[in-house]
Amino acid sequence: MQRDLYMKKDWDNSAITAARAMPHTARVPAELHIGGVRIAPATVLAPMAGVTDTVFRRFIKNASMFTDPTSAADVDTATSNEVSGCGLIMTEFTSADGLSRMRETKRKRYLTYYEDEHPISAQLFGSDPQTLAEAAKIVEDAGFDIVDLNLGCPAKRVVSCNGGSGLLRDLPLIGAIFESVRAAVTIPFTVKFRLGWNDNHIICVPLAKLAEDSGLNAVALHARTREQGYAGQARWHHIAEIKDAVKIPVIGNGDVRTPEDACALIAKTGCDAVMIGRAAPANPWIFRQIAQYTATGRYDAPTEQDRYRMIRTYFEMLLAEAFPENAPATAAAGKMKQFAAWFTHGVRGGAALRKSIYEAKSGAAILDAVDRFFSEPCSASEATHSFEEILQ
């Protein structure tokens, strides 16, 4: 899973970046509506297993505030959407099968979210229409604003049960699932999918039409096939084809890693919103930067001190979150180490910081290592780094 986050060969290709850069007249829309739910601005944090848990989601929604030391510790939840620049967050995918069989207490852990996360969408995967309908009802009863169906996961263990992108080979079954889930819930219902199984089987347009005909409220396309995994370039022209084919909102996804990319995706496809995955952990400021770029045609890069506050705040949030009772510190420290690899890119001397984080034995020791590193005069006074550097 973590490996996927490093599959960025084409992302770092400046020729592609230049080709996608658009004039400042291209804008990410200020809002969109998915059913009765207002998403403002029209940006979505992509669901990412192992990444977009409640801590990371809340962190992203408020990440923009870390440039202001006075507000870093005390986030104003009411305005966090528009201030953070992230209009919608989604849970990582959850097994419908597991959810419908779990005891109530365990379910709660999978579906944990906080009030300041609204609007929030819960993503499900599975292949049985009845089970998915039951799970969607559980999601609705848990207070989520939107329920989403995953038709994109390429992982073998998911595909082998016909879930995720496995279903892309069976449009009639997808139709039965749409019908069953639609009948079970009243909250907006959306689907996130890939182009198709492979290049000989591109079914994204008929799938989007089927979604619309079945009463779904929006579609999101990651413009790669299942066989592509994360290789090659996302083929945005298919997003434009879907936009031409349906009237419900279309969310574009794949290879957006700068504000310029976000505006280019909108301009080239006409899609209604931009969904961002891998760029978010590498650059938690991206949503705010998109908002700033949309408003002014320019955006600020985070300073070294911004990065310090960002790393510290996220780690503190991890420590504060209730991890499984028997190993709270270990679980938090494990997550901190996982994220250190992404967050410390763009920090000068980041390799040394990563090393001390990996060697630390507890969450508190990791925080000490971060404090020590950034209190050394040379690191704080270093020049800031470009966004391209962060992604390398």
Ligand X SMILES: Cc1cc2nc3c(=O)[nH]c(=O)nc-3n(C[C@H](O)[C@H](O)[C@H](O)COP(=O)(O)O)c2cc1C
Min. distance of Cβ 374 from ligand X in angstroms? Answer: 27
DSSP assignment string, 300-369: PPPPHHHHHHHHHHHHHHHHHS---TT-HHHHHHHHHHHHHHHHTTTSTTHHHHHHHHHH-SSHHHHHHH
Whichever of 360 and 390 has its CB closer to ligand X, that residue is: 390
Considering the complex, state which of residue 48 and residue 138 has its C-beta at the smaller distance from ligand X: 48
Q: Please, what's the largest Cα pairwise distance for the chain?
A: 63
**To 10 degrees, what angle do helices 363-375 and 304-320 make?**
170
List residues binding ligand X (CB under 6 A): 1, 4-5, 46-51, 92-93, 123, 150, 152-153, 192, 222, 253-256, 276-279
> Annotated catalytic residue: which of 86, 153, 263, 271?
153
Q: Give the nearer residue to ligand X in terms of CB position, either 29 or 47.
A: 47
- Give residues with Cβ within 8 angstroms of 209, minimum separation 6: 245, 246
Amino acid at 199: D
Based on CB atoms, which residue is closest to ligand X, 107 or 222? 222
| Cβ burial, residue 244 (10 Å; 0-12/13-18/19+) | exposed
Whether 153 is catalytic: yes
Contacts of 29 (CB under 8 A, 6+ apart): 41, 42, 266, 272, 273
User: How far is it, in rounded angstroms, from Cα 19 to Cα 21?
Assistant: 6
Cα separation, 191 vs 328, whole angstroms: 34
CA-to-CA distance for 299 and 69, rounded, in angstroms?
19
Shortest separation between residue 51's beta carbon and ligand X, angstroms:
5
What residue type is 344 in one-letter code?
Answer: T
Nearest-approach distance from CB 391 to ligand X, in angstroms: 11
The pair of structure tokens assigned to 303 is 């300073």
| Residue 92 or 241 with smaller CB distance to ligand X | 92
Cα 162 to Cα 75, 102, 156, 173, distances in angstroms = 42, 21, 10, 10
Residue that has been written with the tokens 């890119």 in this structure? 345
Q: Provide the 3-class DSSP secondary structure of residue 123.
A: strand
Q: Toward ligand X, which CB reaches closer, 187 or 276? A: 276
Nearer to ligand X, 49 or 146 (CB): 49
Tally the residues of the chain: 392
Q: Where are the alpha helices (DSSP H) in the chain?
A: 14-20, 54-62, 80-84, 96-101, 104-110, 129-141, 156-159, 171-184, 204-213, 237-245, 259-269, 279-282, 286-296, 304-320, 328-343, 350-359, 363-375, 377-381, 387-391
Residues involved in catalysis: 153
